[in-house]
Amino acid sequence: MKRILSALFFTAFFLGTASAQEAPYRVVFDLTSRDTLDQRAVLRWINEIHSVNPQAEVEVVMYGKGFEMAMPERSIYIHQVQEAAKDPNVHFRVCAVALKNNKVDASALLKDVQTVPDGIYEIISKQHQGWGYIKVGH
C-alpha cells in the first residue's frame, strides 16, 4: 500500500510539474523612473529571460519619467532598447498620458516604441490576461 501511495504521489507531482512548465512565460515590467540603474536593470532582465526562454513574451510599460529610456535624445541605453525591440516577443509601450503631462510628442520616441492610452491600464490588462508583473527598481 505504501508503495502504491508513493507511486501515485510521484506521478501526480511529475504531472503537476510538467504542466506548470508548459505555462506561457509572459511578463510585464512597470518602469516609472528615469534612473539609469532601473533602465539598465530592465534591459538586463529582458536579456536574461530570453537566454532561458527565447519564446517568452516581455512588455515594458513606461510612464512617469520612465519613457525617457525610449527617447534617443535622453537615453544612454537607446542602442540596447533598439536591439531588444527587434525581438518580436519584446515590446516597449509608453503611456500617452505621461507624454502629455511632460509635454513630449510621441514622435520623440524610437520608431519601434508604441504608445498606449494609459500605462496603468495597460499593466492591469496584462495582469488580467495572466501576465506576471514586475515593478522595476534596483
Question: CATH number for the domain including 98?
Answer: 3.40.1260.10
Identify whether 86 is part of a domain.
yes
Cα 87 to Cα 120: distance, rounded to the nearest angstrom: 24
pLDDT in tens, 60-89: 999 999 999 999 999 999 999 999 999 999
- The average pLDDT across 28-52 equals 97
Residue 8 lies in a domain: no
pLDDT at 112 over 80: yes
**110 in any annotated domain:** yes
Residue 9 pLDDT: 47
Q: Is the pLDDT of residue 13 over 90?
A: no
The answer to whether residue 10 is domain-embedded is: no
Inside any domain, residue 35: yes
Please report which helix (H) or strand (E) contains residue 82, including its range: helix 78-85
Please state the domain count of the chain.
1
Q: Residue 62 belongs to what domain range?
A: 25-135
Would 5 be classed as within a structural domain?
A: no
pLDDT value for 23: 84
- Answer yes or no: is pLDDT of 18 > 90: no
Distances (CA, A) of 103 to 19, 35, 119: 47, 20, 16
Of the pLDDT bands very low, low, confident and very high (cuts 50, 70, 90), residue 94 is: very high
**Does the structure show a pLDDT above 60 at 16?**
no
**What pLDDT is stored for residue 8 in this prediction?**
43
Rounded to 10 degrees, the C-alpha dihedral 35/39/41/44 comes to -160
- Whether residue 56 is contained in a domain is answered as yes
- Give residue 2's pLDDT band: very low, low, confident or very high (50, 70, 90): low
Provide the pLDDT confidence category of residue 134 given band limits of 50, 70 and 90.
very high
Please check whether residue 61 is in contact with residue 99, taking contact to mean a CB–CB distance below 8 angstroms.
no
- CB distance 67 to 99 below 8 Å: yes
Report the DSSP beta bridge partners of residue 91.
59
